[in-house]
Amino acid sequence: MTQPIDIRPATGRLGVLTPGLGAVASTFIAGVLAARAGLTVPIGALSQMAHIRLGERDEQRNPLIREFVPLAGLDDLVFGGWDPISANVLEAARTCGVLEERDLNAISGELESIVSMDAVFDQRWVKKLDGHRVKQVTGAWDQAQALVEDIERFRTENDCERLVMVWCGSTEAYQEVSDVHLSLEAFEAGLRSDDPNISPSQLYAYAALTCGVPFANGAPNLSVDLPAMRELAQREGVPIAGKDFKTGQTFMKTMLAPGLKARMLGLRGWYSTNILGNRDGEVLDDPENFKTKEMSKLGVLDTILQPSLYPDLYGNIDHVVRINYYPPRGDNKEGWDNIDIFGWMGYPMQIKIDFLCRDSILAAPIVLDLALFLDLAARADQHGVQEWLSFYFKSPQSTEAGMPAEHDLFIQQIKLKNTLREWMGEEPVTHSEA
């Protein structure tokens, strides 16, 4: 028997803060409120729906995860967020058009009462949006301090025992790590000198971590994927996770690629294209913002397929990803994949996927799981990158900077569940036992 670690109980209220109150955040909040009112069940959320096997197969111990680990309950969640456009969550939900009016009606009062705080927003990073609910504070240092004040005011006004923050804001323009990101000292100097390489999402992350608030990044921009933020997370003893929610096409990719590899089938090319018409699609219509997303989506195949180990099978792959903004489709994205594979004696075959998915319907349960699991990690005194949450991300951050991340969905799932087992003093399930 392994020793359980100490985890403080989930007493009191947990505030869930989202920079960005758009399609994903409003769908997430609406779903939790509807589940709380008994109008729906939280489909897609492991924290609510999944069981976890404990011990040997024939022991028949399969509790729900939420009964096995001390998670905050849905009734204890309080929501808040910032947005430069949406006035409140009801307006956001209606504008993005993910949920039907009949589903919003029953909870419309609660949704409307969640009013956006003015955002720290800079159009240089999101050219396609014209924000007007924006803080009038100038200078990166003062903007970060204004966010800290928002966080602490929210904590007090809502009587929250703990807070978590999940970035649900737009994808920012592509950016490489620069000198200002390499240490906390350089970053704080950059805040004071208003360094142009510090983006708004980094200001939210900095503010959250200095307030001891765990931070998850649902978009592909750097935010907490920076040496300075890792250092800050360690110093403050706060868990972080990122980046870019793994929802539609990449979710499919990280399910299929491990299967092809498991059977030693070759891959010659993978062409992925998407049409979507929501605000996210509009933002990604700008080449600089698309590049951030493209890099995130392109990364997955190489680490799963290991071309250097398998040059005959995966040494020559054309991997292409396209996203086109097509307004009639709204949030109901269509993702096509053409996959050129080959088998015995090199004979070619093709797989076609046409995934008519609803982006925010897939992302909402991820926000819930990340909020609850990051809060659990904080109560378990876990600091820095939470690699066991890679399951939820297209570009997972690894614990050690520079260490290759794990992309295989099934390995990620095993790691997630084994982490929970180990924390609770149960043996990990390796499948070599009965």
Give which of 18, 362, 112 is closest to 104, Cα–Cα: 112
Q: Which amino acid is at 206?
A: Y
Structure-token pair, residue 78? 């309080």
Q: Considering beta carbons, is residue 210 or 360 the nearer one to ligand NAD?
A: 360
| Other Cβ atoms closer than 10 A to 27 | 28
Reported for 135-143, long-range contacts at CB under 8 A and 24+ positions apart, including other chains, are 139/194, 140/190, 140/191, 140/192, 140/194, 140/195, 140/198, 140/203, 141/191, 141/192, 141/194, 143/200, 143/203
Nearest residue to ligand NAD by CB is 22
Site for ligand NAD in 261-290 (CB under 6 A): 278-280, 283
Which residues, 6+ apart, have CB-to-CB distance to 78 below 8 Å?
13, 14, 15, 16, 158, 160
Establish if 359 lies at the interface with ligand NAD (CB under 6 A): yes
The pattern of x and - marking residues 28 through 47 that bind ligand NAD according to CB under 6 A reads --------------------
Q: Does residue number 83 form part of the binding site for ligand NAD (CB under 6 A)?
A: yes
Question: Is 219 an interacting residue with respect to ligand NAD (CB under 6 A)?
Answer: yes
- Of 55-63, 82-90, 190-198, 412-420, the window that binds ligand NAD (rule: CB under 6 A) is 82-90
Q: Which stretch binds ligand NAD (CB under 6 A): 33-41, 120-128, 401-409, 425-433?
A: 120-128
Q: Least Å distance between CB 398 and ligand NAD?
A: 19
Assess 214 for contact with ligand NAD (CB under 6 A).
Answer: no
Q: How far is CA 423 from the centre of its chain?
A: 22
Q: Which two three-digit tokens encode residue 204?
A: 């939210």
Does residue 200 belong to the site contacting ligand NAD (CB under 6 A)?
A: yes
Length of the chain: 434
Q: Does 384 bind ligand NAD (CB under 6 A)?
A: no
**Rounded Cα distance, 258 and 303, in Å:** 10
Site track 146-165 with ligand NAD (rule: CB under 6 A), x = hit: --------------------
390 is a contact residue toward ligand NAD (CB under 6 A): no
Site for ligand NAD in 291-350 (CB under 6 A): none
Q: Residue 344: in which H helix or E strand, if any?
A: none
Residue 343: count other Cβ atoms within 10 Å of its Cβ: 13
Q: Which is nearer to ligand NAD, 22 or 239 (CB)?
A: 22
Contact 273, 329 (CB under 8 A): no
Query: Could you tell me which residues come within 8 angstroms of residue 269 by beta carbon, excluding any fewer than 6 positions away?
Result: 317, 318, 319, 320, 338, 339, 340
Give the shortest CB-356-to-ligand NAD separation in angstroms. 14
Q: Which of 28, 141, 215, 245 is the binder for ligand NAD (CB under 6 A)? A: 245
Q: Is residue 91 a contact residue for ligand NAD (CB under 6 A)?
A: no
CA distance linking residue 430 with residue 374, whole number of Å: 24
Phi/psi of residue 37, nearest 5 degrees:
-85, 5
Which residue, 245 or 314, is less far from ligand NAD as judged by CB?
Answer: 245
Nearer to ligand NAD, 33 or 129 (CB): 129
Place of tokens 């995934």: 355
Residues at the site binding ligand NAD, with contacts judged by CB under 6 A: 19-24, 82-86, 96, 119-121, 126, 129, 168-171, 200, 218-219, 244-245, 247-248, 278-280, 283, 359-360, 362-363
